[in-house]
Structure 1
């Protein structure tokens, strides 16, 4: 099928639907490739960065030992927050109120949320594309079939040969919607499992760090 001919035959609704699917595909593939790099590096670096941290002589020394292994800054924010708390919060501030355990829980939680937010970035977009792209394609197909049948009926002569071509072209939108949705759904599921494992490891590290500093 000539795509240029198909584009010219379609009306504004068909063209907007096709452009929307293209935009969804480009956005999802940008996220897929970006997260592939991020999660591969994070999965390789986290065990090494954690080991380097526990081999450090002190919190002040930990940052320099961890940095070469922590390319995605997963451990450094937690270690930095703990080190900043150890240096002491400004006197008279709300950050200095409460017990040491409460202060440590707060700063580690805030640092952990920042790290997890970066790991989870893009998951909502992948889920949205995966769930909506098939329906966008179906909308394009339904509208394309309606537009084709209306055009043929206006011509005053309806035969199977005249119907098959336009209807077949309209069905391409459904295939396009599935082609956009399937990679997004697969990436969402795979990346979700990897992110969940990394989150569990980071939460365990934060808990061990808290217990160490309170010991």
Structure 2
């Protein structure tokens, strides 16, 4: 009843703070549940998909296998970059300049960055809510205490504990609301960040292996042996 009483007695600022905390809580939980679904399996699922790809007889078969095992497209874009590279590379263009492995390096980098942006989606929102929700709740508390003290000051009989304790206690509920919003967001950010870190390492290793296999470094010709200098008398 304290929270309801606080909202009933609050002004526009107090109710605005409460509404903001409610919206932050909804956004945090929606993001939390969505990322929990998107990241389920984590690096273990990626490792199985990568192993299945390398067991394929060719790139086309490997891409076909990944299409069924990687529905969220974490590994598949990297394999597709290798498969579609000859068709995308046009001769006599800047894309074809440089070392022979340069076009594949660019294609793998672009695919890897796109996947990492997908994995990182929502992390900034969780971090922002976790960092700001306690201060938003504290703002509501300070504003509520200020309003309560102003209201009590206008009453006859002066300040007494029973007159101050109720309104101030109700105002402190806003700080509790802020902490209740922030704690799940911070916990989710840390857990998801650890999972994403493992997945990022797995994807970077896969991209490195693809580059090593399909665009190896050109072998350098051995230097001819030095000719002995003639000895003069």
User: Aligned runs of 1:94-173 on 2, under 5 Å?
Assistant: 94-157=94-157, 158-173=159-174
Give structure 1 stretches of 5+ with no counterpart. Answer: none
> Partner residue of 2:76?
76
> 1:38-65: per-residue Cα shift (whole Å, max 9, x none)?
1114445312211111011111221111
Cα distance in 2 for residues equivalent to 1:131 and 1:51: 39
> Partner residue of 1:22?
22
Between the two proteins, the alignment pairs up a number of residues equal to 215
Cα distance in 2 for residues equivalent to 1:18 and 1:184: 17
RCO higher in structure (CA 8 A, sep ≥6): 2
Q: CA RMSD in A?
A: 1.4
Question: Contact 2:3/2:170 (CA < 8 Å) preserved in 1?
Answer: no
User: Aligned runs of 1:51-66 on 2, under 5 Å?
Assistant: 51-66=51-66
> Partner residue of 1:192?
193
Give structure 2 stretches of 5+ with no counterpart. Answer: 217-233
Which structure carries more helix by proportion? 1
> Partner residue of 1:178?
179
> 1:5-36: per-residue Cα shift (whole Å, max 9, x none)?
32120011111111111111111111111111
Cα distance in 2 for residues equivalent to 1:11 and 1:97: 66
Cα distance in 2 for residues equivalent to 1:3 and 1:172: 7
Cα distance in 2 for residues equivalent to 1:105 and 1:34: 32
> Partner residue of 2:212?
211
Question: Contact 1:42/1:72 (CA < 8 Å) preserved in 2?
Answer: no
Residue 5 (str. 1) matches residue 5 (str. 2): yes
Cα distance in 2 for residues equivalent to 1:99 and 1:87: 18
Q: Which range is displaced more, 63-72 or 197-206?
A: 63-72
After superposing on structure 2, the runs of 4+ consecutive aligned residues of structure 1 that deviate more than 6 Å are none
**Structure whose CA Rg is larger:** 2
> 1:102-141: per-residue Cα shift (whole Å, max 9, x none)?
1111110000000011111111111111111111111110
TM-score (norm: length of structure 2): 0.88
